[in-house]
Amino acid sequence: MVFNTHFDHQGNQARTESAKLIIRKIKELNTENLPVILTGDFNLTPEQAPIAIITSELKDSRSISKEKPYGPTGTFNGFKFDSPLKDRIDYVFVNDQSEVKQYGVFTDSKDQRYPSDHLPVFVNLELKGAKKQ
């Protein structure tokens, strides 16, 4: 099951309620304990309370990657090529039915311009119990 979201960028209560709602909906829909992948722009840094709500049920792919994470920690660049890339607000969360092999944040640009104000987050994972081909 794959879920994608974009949390509010200003309202603290809205982000907290969004975290609660998405976890509740995942539990409601995933009655067979299938692999779950939750991605998105959460507009939250890792130490903020709504992220703790999510990580009480799902795992942060960056922290459980078998290989050392690739690229910068931050994912938000604000279209500024010289951004320090310290704000991590984009995530890929998984449940116990996935094993994260690699995690990376790509900084590719063209003519010192990013195609988005967010950097792409890449995760190579294996679904447990999946047949290898």
Map out the domains of the chain with their CATH numbers: 2-127 (3.60.10.10)
Residue 130 pLDDT > 70 = no
CB distance 73 to 85 below 8 Å: yes
Mean pLDDT of all residues belonging to the chain: 95
Q: What percent of the chain has pLDDT over 90?
A: 95
Residue 76 β-bridge partners: 118
Rg (CA), the chain: 15
* Rounded Cα–Cα distance for residues 66 and 102 (Å): 6
Contact status, residue 101 vs residue 40, Cβ threshold 8 Å: no
pTM (2 d.p.): 0.94
Q: What is the mean pLDDT of residues 101-125?
A: 96
Mean pLDDT of 38-57: 97
Q: Give the confidence band of 132 by pLDDT, cuts at 50, 70, 90.
A: low
The DSSP output letter for 104 is E
pLDDT of residue 131: 59
pLDDT at 92 over 90: yes
Calculate what percentage of the chain has a pLDDT beyond 70. 97
